[in-house]
Amino acid sequence: MTIASSSLEALLGALHDVVGEGSLVTDRDLTVRYLIDQREYLRGETPAVIRPSSTAEVAAVVHLVGEAGFGLVPQGGNTSYCGGATPDRSGRQFVLSLERMTRIRAVDPLGFTIALDAGVVLADAQAAAEAAGLMLPMSLGSQGSARIGGLLGTNAGGLSVLRYGMMRDLLLGIEAVMPDGSVFNAMRPLRKNNTGYDLKQCFVGSEGTLGIITGASLKLIPAQGYRATVWLQLAAGAPLAEMLAVVRRGSADLVSSFEYITATSLGLVGSGGPLRAGAGGVLLVELSASSAAVPLEDLLIATVEELSAAEWIEDAFLASSDRQRNEMWDLRESIPEGERRAGGAVKHDISVPIPAIGPYLAEAGAAVAAYDPALKLSVYGHVGDGNLHYNVLVPPGRDRLAFSAEIEANLAPRLYEIALGLDGAFSAEHGVGRLKRGLLDRYADPTGRTLMRRLKGAFDPANTFNAGAVVDPIDHGA
């Protein structure tokens, strides 16, 4: 069916016929939650929120919307920190929510794989793997709301990247609807498939600009039923990169998490007793294994003794129960909420090579002090993979949005330049979305950025999918 772009009413009727009653949401009171980004920096407009329940419905929706000259913004759990799932203000972009596509298609306990719809919530995918005695090794604070398609679209990281990699590393197969309504089906869960370009990886990190991910096949691992977890109070000037190397070597590389927390970040969530910071902050280190035969606690104690002998730690608290372990992780995962309660923070998702973590902390700290010595920093992150969440807290009494604009204009460029000078990046795991497009234009390799625009033009020449996010297309071959 062909619909003129001016006939919105006819288009809405056709979309209703595709997705059914209750799955085309036009009431403004109901659509508002889809139109505001996670950090409330952006608010878009949309004619409707479309909630398909199958790949076939997504393909039909894409065909109708494209013919009518409208755009689509795919949305999973709407947890993007960069506005990557928020429509613009034109009212010409439909939100396509994957929240009804929640089918676990298959779990293979011999192949260690899971196939699932893109709208499956991460926590539900984890539960499905656990029911089969397996584990999906992706864990992050928003796992109760983030969905598989969005995690792939942003190439999410999380707490275990050091050992298991990002979403890109867990992906075996993908299904995606293209801007012309065709379906790219590469769902085969093969670990070896060297038959030309690895097209599935084009969709990872593309934030819905190249295709709408509707399904995925992911790697699983044996359930990690055995863990050893330690809270390390760091001495002043403790060398994080050197400490990571000691722990990796001493534990036979069984480190699943290596998290750094500054005293200021910890103070936002109210810690006491042994779970406090040293002069240099905190390291939360965890080893894991699938077998009781692996002496995790002995390995961890031996490495802690080595760190202590080097005078890099002031004290250590080894979790002796699941309750104590959960207390440690609750503190770590509560920091973003602690920042919100304190009035908010301007977030910088920095990535640097692991040996450059110390130099980055020193140089960036000096840059912040030179800009305004009264500013407070909340710094924490997955230093095991070089990712720091380098956040400037909003001072009491300051408007969050106005302060954010000031910092992003005047201080953030210096923080990014320090990272790039150390061979780092301005976005480790949050993506680009709408909010960081200017940073991509400013800091990306020019040839790389041109290639990205050509790829966008080849996949989506009409700029139907998530226009305004990441890059604009240029004509293929231009």
Give domain limits for the chain: 8-97, 104-222, 226-333, 338-429, 432-460
Q: In this predicted structure, what is the pLDDT of residue 474?
A: 83
| Phi then psi dihedrals of residue 305, to 5 deg | -65, -40
Q: In this predicted structure, what is the pLDDT of residue 3?
A: 47
Architecture of the domain spanning 104-222: 2-Layer Sandwich (3.30)
Q: In this predicted structure, what is the pLDDT of residue 85?
A: 87
Which structure tokens are listed for 157? Answer: 């990281």
Residues 275, 327: Cα–Cα separation, whole Å:
9
Which structure tokens are listed for 382? Answer: 């997955």
Q: In this predicted structure, what is the pLDDT of residue 81?
A: 78
**pTM value?**
0.91
Q: In this predicted structure, what is the pLDDT of residue 39?
A: 78
Q: In this predicted structure, what is the pLDDT of residue 123?
A: 96
Q: In this predicted structure, what is the pLDDT of residue 5?
A: 46
Q: In this predicted structure, what is the pLDDT of residue 446?
A: 92
Fold (topology level) of 8-97: 3.30.43
Beta strand pairing status for 49-50 and 255-261? Answer: unpaired
Residues 256, 378: Cα–Cα separation, whole Å:
23
User: Along the chain (478 residues), what's the average pLDDT of each consecutive run of 10 residues?
Assistant: 64 95 91 86 92 97 95 89 87 96 98 98 97 94 90 90 93 97 96 93 95 98 96 97 96 95 95 89 97 97 97 97 95 94 93 95 98 97 90 96 95 96 89 87 91 95 94 71
Q: In this predicted structure, what is the pLDDT of residue 73?
A: 95
Same fold flag, 226-333 and 338-429: yes
Residues 175, 302: Cα–Cα separation, whole Å:
46
CATH code of domain 226-333 = 3.30.70.2190
Q: Is 338-429 a CATH 3.30.70.2740 domain?
A: yes
Q: In what order do the strands lie in the sheet with 183-186?
A: 104-108, 113-117, 212-219, 171-177, 183-186
